[in-house]
Structure formats: C-alpha cells, structure tokens
Amino acid sequence: MTTQNTLRAVAVLGATTLLALAGGQAFAGVAPTDSPEKAATVVTYDASGAEEFTEAVDGGADVWNESVTGVQLEPAEAGEQANITIVADDGWPRAQTTSLGNGRIWMGRQAVEEGHDTLRIASHELGHILGLPDIKPGPCTSLMSGASAGTDCTNAYPDESEKASVEDNFGTASYFKSDADFKRIPLTVGRVHQD
C-alpha cells in the first residue's frame, strides 16, 4: 500500500468515526464483499422532486453506472433517506455537495430553455456529487465542461480522465470488506457547483 493510500485510509476511517457520531444524514456506503476485489460504493438518489427531469436523472445515473465500477447510483427505496436529493426549479442547474456521494441537485429549467440537453445536465450534475469539478472552458468530449461546450453538445458521457477521477475518488472501497466494515466516505462540505 502506498503512503498516499495509507493516509487516505486513515483519513477516511477518522472522518467516518466523526460522521458516525454526528448521525442524521445519509452517507454513501460501501457495499460489503467477501472478495479481495474492490466493492462498488452504492449511492442512492431520490428524483421524486425532479418533475419533468426524472427520466433524464435516471439516464444520467445509467451513464455513470456504465462508465465506472467503483460507484453505482441506484434509486432510493421507499422510505429510505437518499444520498442525493434531486429537484426541479426555474434557475440554472447546480449541485451542492455535502460529502463525497452526498448532496442536492437542482435540475434548472433555465439551461433547458436555452437549449442545453437534459441528459447531459443530469450526468454533469451527478459528476459533481461524485467529486468532479467544472472544467471550463472545455470541449464537448468533457462532460464536466458543462454549458461551456455550447448547446449543440449532447455528450452525456465522462471522458477517460473524468472516469479515472471518479474511480480514484471511490478507490477507498477496497478497504472495507464486510458488513462490520460498512463505512461512509466524506469529502467536502457545502460546495455549490453551478452549471
């Protein structure tokens, strides 16, 4: 194990202890596994407030599920507190991360009215929750270039660099192997990404 991975594991375990004491919010958890391979982190989302964007949100989750193996996005079960809450509003699309795999997304109608693709918007905003920053200006091949790629861009898939970053963000999953080791993974608090 490299020094960086060791430090990451120590930081995650320490932060996990603090978060466990804090309680309240749902946190992205690592799915248990008996194999030495990395387990995918399951992140749940609630799109019940996404209104006309529900299909785009489900499609954005599918994009990420096809693109990476370290994390999988799944709709929350009835009564379950979701890691990600997704709502529709009349503003610009944006995401607020509370920790890695946790936060709130606003599917803003303003971008759609300007001609931006709803599936790209959903994938982009989910990318923020998975730990990715905006890359502006950027080409259409970069999902995180967002609106800077223009309204003609409908690419909803992350590029190889973006995929690698998400895999790295959730790479700590390999440290947790059983139900007893089910952990929550923190990242940042309260950062809002608008685009």
User: pLDDT for 155-164, tens place per residue?
Assistant: 999 999 999 9
SS3 139: coil
CA distances from 55 to 104, 107, 122, 134 (A): 17, 12, 10, 23
Would you call 125 a catalytic residue per the annotation?
yes
**Mean predicted lDDT score pLDDT of the chain:** 79
**C-alpha pair distances (Å), 157 with each of 61, 99, 142, 160:** 11, 23, 8, 10
Nearest to 106 by CA among 122, 120, 123: 122
* Residue 146 Cα to chain centre, angstroms: 15
Q: What is the pLDDT of residues 80-103, one digit of tens each?
A: 999 999 999 999 999 999 999 999
Summarised one tens digit per residue, pLDDT across range 50-64 is: 999 999 999 999 999
Q: Where are the alpha helices (DSSP H) in 46-148?
A: 54-67, 109-113, 118-129
pLDDT tier at 39, thresholds 50, 70, 90: confident
pTM for this structure?
A: 0.74
Residues 6+ apart with CB under 8 A from 147: 111, 116, 195
| Spatial CB neighbours of 62, under 8 Å, sequence gap ≥ 6 | none
Which pair of tokens denotes residue 5?
């991975």
Catalytic entry in 125, 160, 162, 167: 125
Question: What average pLDDT does this structure show over 18-42?
Answer: 52
